[in-house]
Copies of this chain bind each other. A is one copy, B any other.
């Protein structure tokens, strides 16, 4: 016996995340979203106030997931090398387990109003700062080279991590642990002999 139960606000937000991630905010209409969740367009407004609010909510979920990973790593402590490994694994997990929120956080911030856009930029910088700190820690404890530039190095590591969702598909040659290991290996040693 199938019971059609009424949609919750979270159903609507999750569906919005799916569409924003796959077609972009401006490429998604409220009627697209309503169809995705099984309603008519006007019925969405008994769950939410506006399309813009939905974007804010999805983006902030993405920001919170990445930050939670960084916070866990910082609380666990360890050498620079250990913490970098944990940051890489945590990022891969967030991207693979919450791809819609991650993509929307990474690529749709420009569709936000200026106030929320600035908050996203601040959230990204805060997350990036965790990588910078780990690089400094590792330079001191002998994990890493001592002359590396933490700012640009953090950006390059995050560039690799953020791009994962653009090419990696589960079920392929690498599982997610092997993926994280490959990334960590490249970030540690590069291609050099």
Interface of A is mostly: helix
Cβ-defined contact, B163 with A193, below 8 A: no
Cβ-defined contact, A193 with B26, below 8 A: no
| Chain B hits for A187, CB < 8 A | 186, 190-191
Cβ-defined contact, B186 with A189, below 8 A: no
Cβ-defined contact, A160 with B167, below 8 A: no
The residue on B at minimum CB distance from A187 is B190
Count chain A residues whose beta carbon lies closer than 8 angstroms to a beta carbon of B.
40
Q: Which of A107-162 contact B (CB under 8 A)?
A: 107, 110-111, 135, 138, 142-145, 148-149, 152-153, 155-156, 158-160, 162
| Chain B hits for A149, CB < 8 A | 182
A192: interface (CB < 8 Å): yes
| Chain B hits for A183, CB < 8 A | 156
A188: interface (CB < 8 Å): yes
Cβ-defined contact, A156 with B145, below 8 A: no
Cβ-defined contact, A193 with B143, below 8 A: yes
User: In the complex, A183 Cα to B157 Cα: how many Å?
Assistant: 11
Cβ-defined contact, B192 with A152, below 8 A: no
Given contacts A27-B26, A149-B182, A155-B167, contact A188 B188 (CB under 8 A): no
| Chain B hits for A142, CB < 8 A | 193
Assuming A148-B191, A156-B160, what are 18 further A-B pairs, CB within 8 angstroms? A22-B110, A23-B26, A24-B26, A25-B27, A26-B26, A26-B27, A27-B111, A143-B193, A144-B191, A144-B193, A145-B191, A149-B182, A152-B174, A152-B182, A158-B163, A159-B166, A162-B163, A188-B190
Top 4 nearest A-B pairs (CB, nearest first) are: A159-B163, A26-B26, A26-B27, A190-B190
